[in-house]
């Protein structure tokens, strides 16, 4: 193990917790060329960020990300904040010579993503690395699916089907959190969860989505404010309750065509009652089919058309040491969970830093995905008009 890589993480909520356990554990399971040092966690509320530092194992805490970016004793900036802050933080960090890991989607707009990708390319020439945190690429079964498609297991790809279904805002009294505000989140189910399944589809197939026809819907347009009032609120007639407008989509559905000629259908919703984190990706080809479902994240279903009258979907138990990422974990048959995807992601990023190689997905990949999200929104705003990406 080489010298330590000193990490500063900005943001400490859901993603901050996931990233923290990854930095804390990655060197304990994988042989790395550098060891992560959890130097400082950053948040605006001093009391809350102090508690997060103690709880998650960070050596110190700070409330000003600009001061942290300027520090000489920090090597990596890990961005776990809402989308409206990504561009400013990432560009400042890259210009300061810090490696950057940024949560998805890369930005809230194409212009922001373009500026971030340009800054990343300039920094790359100075040996500074950057990566977007599409963690589901690091599910071993998804990585194996990508490997099998590349090896020709399904032949010529004809259909791609993707779903990401949740139900966490079905309750109409659920408050107007930041994820429901366009000026902070950029988009709703589309960017929050749809971005994951769209990225997975392109990663697994090696094909780019070139055009879309989409529809979006916001089912609940007014919600109570988290604090019961404030600048965003307007009193609901006759109730006295403070509410605000939901300005993002609750659901998105789209048809797609890839640059390889495949047809795609995708759905992302936070209104699928009973679905907690249901992700499905299926690829049908001339020689077979592959299906991944996050409900069974350690398995991959494969249909081999060459098996003739003995053909049928079989389950591959993705727990063998020859499968992606498994060599650092448990013996065969001992499955991994959601949190392990972030450890695998941290491993890939630290390996890139240690070896001076380019991690994936890059900021350029993140910009490309942002253009796809923008095309979906443009199509939906124009009556599901076919829109090139």
Full DSSP string of 173-195: TS---GGG-HHHHSSSHIIIIIH
Tokens of 240: 């006295």
Mean pLDDT to the nearest integer, 121-138: 98
| 12-38 tens-digit pLDDT | 999 999 999 999 999 999 999 999 999
Q: Could you give the CA distance from residue 283 to residue 224 in angstroms, rounded to a whole number?
A: 41
Cβ atoms of residues 198 and 307 within 8 Å: no
User: Which residue, among 196, 169, 185, 187, has the nearest Cα to 271 in the 3D structure?
Assistant: 169
Cβ atoms of residues 267 and 163 within 8 Å: yes
Reported as type and span, the H/E element at residue 28 is helix 14-29
pTM, to two decimals: 0.95
Cβ atoms of residues 176 and 223 within 8 Å: yes
Neighbours of 217 (CB within 10 A): 14
What confidence tier does 227 reach under pLDDT thresholds 50, 70, 90? Answer: confident
Mean pLDDT to the nearest integer, 176-182: 97
Per-residue pLDDT, 114: 98
Mean pLDDT to the nearest integer, 357-362: 98
205, pLDDT greater than 50: yes
Per-residue pLDDT, 295: 98
Tokens of 204: 């697994």
Mean pLDDT to the nearest integer, 227-256: 72
Mean pLDDT to the nearest integer, 240-252: 91
User: Which residue, among 108, 106, 124, has the nearest Cα to 116 in the 3D structure?
Assistant: 106
95, pLDDT greater than 90: yes
Domains in the chain with CATH codes = 4-136 (3.40.50.720), 140-296+298-336 (3.30.360.10)
Sheet holding 60-62, edge to edge: 60-62, 35-42, 4-10, 76-79, 99-103, 130-133
**Lowest mean pLDDT, pick from 134-138, 236-240, 295-299, 317-321:** 236-240
Select the more confidently predicted residue: 235 or 352. 352
230, pLDDT greater than 90: no
212, pLDDT greater than 80: yes
Per-residue pLDDT, 3: 79
240, pLDDT greater than 80: no
Per-residue pLDDT, 206: 98
What confidence tier does 2 reach under pLDDT thresholds 50, 70, 90? Answer: low
Neighbours of 211 (CB within 10 A): 17
Over the chain, what is the mean pLDDT?
95
Beta strands 157-165 and 278-285 are antiparallel
User: Which residue, among 320, 295, 312, 323, has the nearest Cα to 148 in the 3D structure?
Assistant: 323
Tokens of 88: 């400013």
Q: Could you give the CA distance from residue 102 to residue 366 in angstroms, rounded to a whole number?
A: 10
What confidence tier does 236 reach under pLDDT thresholds 50, 70, 90? Answer: very low
């Amino acid at each position: 193990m080489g010298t330590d890589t000193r990490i500063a993480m900005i943001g400490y909520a859901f993603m901050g917790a996931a990233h923290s356990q990854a930095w804390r554990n990655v060197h304990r399971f994988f042989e790395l060329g550098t060891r992560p040092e959890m130097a400082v966690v950053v948040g605006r509320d001093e009391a809350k960020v102090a508690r997060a530092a103690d709880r998650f194992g960070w050596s110190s805490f700070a409330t000003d990300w600009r001061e942290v970016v300027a520090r000489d004793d920090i090597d990596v900036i890990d961005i776990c904040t809402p989308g409206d802050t990504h561009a400013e933080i990432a560009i400042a960090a890259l210009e300061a010579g810090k490696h950057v890991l940024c949560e998805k989607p890369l930005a809230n707009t194409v212009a922001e993503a373009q500026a971030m990708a340009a800054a990343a390319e300039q920094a790359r020439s100075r040996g500074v690395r950057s990566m977007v945190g599409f963690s589901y690429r690091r599910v071993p079964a998804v990585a194996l699916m990508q490997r099998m498609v590349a090896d020709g297991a399904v032949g010529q790809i004809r259909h791609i089907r993707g779903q990401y279904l949740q139900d966490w805002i079905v309750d109409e009294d659920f408050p107007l959190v930041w994820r429901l505000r366009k000026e902070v989140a950029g988009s709703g189910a589309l960017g929050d969860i749809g971005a994951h399944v769209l990225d997975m589809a392109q990663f697994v197939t090696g094909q780019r989505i070139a055009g879309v026809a989409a529809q979006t819907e916001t089912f609940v347009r007014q919600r109570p404010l988290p604090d019961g009032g404030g600048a965003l609120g307007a009193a609901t007639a006759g109730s006295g309750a403070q509410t605000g407008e939901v300005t993002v989509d609750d659901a998105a559905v789209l048809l797609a065509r890839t640059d390889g000629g495949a047809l795609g259908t995708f759905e992302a919703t936070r209104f699928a009652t009973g679905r907690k984190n249901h992700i499905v990706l299926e690829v049908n080809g001339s020689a077979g089919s592959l299906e991944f479902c996050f409900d069974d994240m350690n398995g991959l279903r494969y249909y081999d058309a060459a098996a003739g009258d003995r053909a049928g979907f079989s389950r591959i138990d993705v727990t063998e040491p020859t499968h992606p990422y498994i060599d650092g974990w448990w013996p065969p048959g001992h499955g991994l969970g959601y949190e392990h995807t972030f450890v695998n992601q941290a491993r890939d990023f630290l390996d890139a830093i240690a070896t001076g190689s380019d991690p994936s997905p890059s900021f350029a990949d993140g910009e490309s995905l942002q253009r796809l999200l923008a095309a979906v929104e443009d199509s939906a705003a124009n009556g599901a008009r076919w829109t090139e990406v």
